[in-house]
Structures are given as C-alpha cells and as structure tokens.
Structure 1
Amino acid sequence: MNPAYRLRVTQAQDIAATFEVRAQTPDNAIAPERLALLGITPDSQREALERGEQLSWVVERDAVVHGFCCADPGSGEVLVLAVRAGHQGQGLGRALLQAALDGLRAAGSPPAWLWGAADPSLRAPGFYRSQGWQPTGRRNAHGDEELRAPPP
C-alpha cells in the first residue's frame, strides 16, 4: 500500500465517512438513501460494530477516509470493500481485503467469502481473482457471484 495512506480499525466516528466513500466508488456507487432502504444506516453500522457483529477497517490519508472494508465474523462474509474514486491503484483494496481476511481468521470465523459483481467490465471481478478468490458457481438474485477466499 502506498505509504501516504494508513490502515486502521474503523472507529464509530468513521461511520459517516464510510457512507461518503460508498457513494463515491467508480463502478458500484450506492447512495446513503438507497442503503437506508436496505436497512444499512450509520446507526445500524455503529451498533453492529459495538456488538461485535461486524469487523471493519478504514484506510485514510491526511485524516480523510478513502477506503473501507467490513466483514461478518459470524458467517465469514466480506460485506463490502470500497475505495473512493481517484484512489484506486494505490494498494488500498488489497490492504483492506487482507485486513478483513486476517481479522476473520483471528475471530475464528468460517472461511471467508463474498458476493461480487460478475460483470467483467467492472474492476471487482478481476481484482478479486487477482487476489486468489475463486467463484463457486452460485449467484444471488442480483446476478452477483459467490467467491471464496484462497486458503491461508
């Protein structure tokens, strides 16, 4: 990861910034209003962190959050990995994904997995495969494919 950035565990005061980042990803931006319709709000995220139902990391530079990753230690699912537009190619996604894998393993979680976009015109499918993640053949109702993390 570019040394100008710093990876750390997400704090409650970072939650609003993660919603900004999610709305500013280049390929799959989701506005806070749409997330709220799915039950994902700053309050729900804060509560999940406080109860230990979610593990989360941010990458910041100059005290500004530019990427984050959240995972569910109960299921092993990587819930979201997002990097703000203009900050790709710095190793942030790779560092965040590795933090999630390490955190899930340390928590004794089941093997890591995620739902990822299957559209080859997007960055995500190539990114996850370059990190060793493999499709299982399963797809969800949105057409996303299930990917499994490489063995440790």
Structure 2
Amino acid sequence: MKVAYRMATPDDVAECIALRGKARENAFSVEQLEELGITLESWKAGISDGSLPGYVGVSEGKIIGYCFGDSETGEIVVLALLPEYESKGVGKALLNQMIESFNSLGFERLFLGCSSDAKARSYGFYRHLGWRSTGLFDDAEDEILEYFPNK
C-alpha cells in the first residue's frame, strides 16, 4: 500500500465529504454535516481562504484519509480515514502533517475534541501520541484534549 500525502485543495472537498460518511467511528452523512453548517461551499471556502488548511492521503488515485485544522485557533477539526486504512500509520502521518503546519504558524498549543469513551479507537489513538485531557468538554460532549508540539 503506497500512500502519498499532500495539502488539500478545494477540489478535494466532495471526496472528503463522501469519505466522512464511510469512517468507522464518528461518521457523518452529507445531511448531518449540513446540519452542522459544513457544506461543500463552506469547506471549499475554508481551504481557499486559509482558515481550514488540511492534508489528504491518496492511494491508487483516491483520497483514503484526511486531517483539517482551524488556522485561527489551532484546533484539529477532523481526522478521518477509510476503515481499511486504519492501523497502517495513515492517521498518524496526516495528524503529524497538521501538527507541523500549525507549529510553523507559531502555535504552542493545539487542541481537539475526542470521544471520552475508552472503547473508542480515537480515545487511545490521541493519548498514545501524547495528547492530554484538559478535563473540559465541548458542546458535542467530546473531551477536549491538548497537545504542545514543542514539548
């Protein structure tokens, strides 16, 4: 399995939205994303204006995973993979691309919302990579984790 990593472009958004509905955990349909205010147009605009930078992993000509962040706050907004690419280092590589990108923008602290259910894959994934609980929860009842890239 060969995966190429690159910065996301507005042309990637339709494929990213479709992939989000196929993720094993925390999948969202097009309709569910729209209810959250995430549309093809809003996502494309965020990439275009630099407020929502991201990276995609591509294998055999298709996007198999992605990671996007909020360049204003340092939040990792989403990391999603097709299930067949889990446990192969793709998620870690995509997350590290975003961490490096945000580090170059001068962020000293990054954060994200993550399931507080220890049975969820994301729970162990982020903690294993050094993310720590803040003890706070967001509006979706996800636990806020933080990461300090330079420590």
* TM-score, shorter chain, exceeding 0.5: yes
Q: Find the counterpart in structure 1 of residue 12 from structure 2.
A: 14
Q: Find the counterpart in structure 1 of residue 133 from structure 2.
A: 135
The partner residue of 2:88 within 59, 74, 90 is 90
5+ residue gaps, structure 1: none
Q: Quote how far apart the aligned CAs of 1:28 are.
A: 1.2
* % same residue: 29
The partner residue of 2:42 within 41, 44, 49 is 44
Q: Distance in 2 between matches of 1:109 and 1:73?
A: 9
Q: Distance in 2 between matches of 1:77 and 1:29?
A: 19
Q: Quote how far apart the aligned CAs of 1:110 are.
A: 5.0
Q: Say what the alpha-carbon RMSD is for the aligned residues.
A: 1.2
Cα deviation, 1:60-88, whole Å, max 9, x if unaligned, reads: 10110000000011100000000112110
> Once superposed, which parts of structure 1, at least 4 consecutive aligned residues long, lie more than 4 Å away?
none
Q: Distance in 1 between matches of 2:71 and 2:25?
A: 26
Q: Distance in 2 between matches of 1:107 and 1:42?
A: 26
- The SS at the match of 1:66 is strand
Q: Quote how far apart the aligned CAs of 1:11 are.
A: 1.3
Q: Quote how far apart the aligned CAs of 1:90 are.
A: 1.1
Q: Which amino acid aligns with 1:81?
A: L
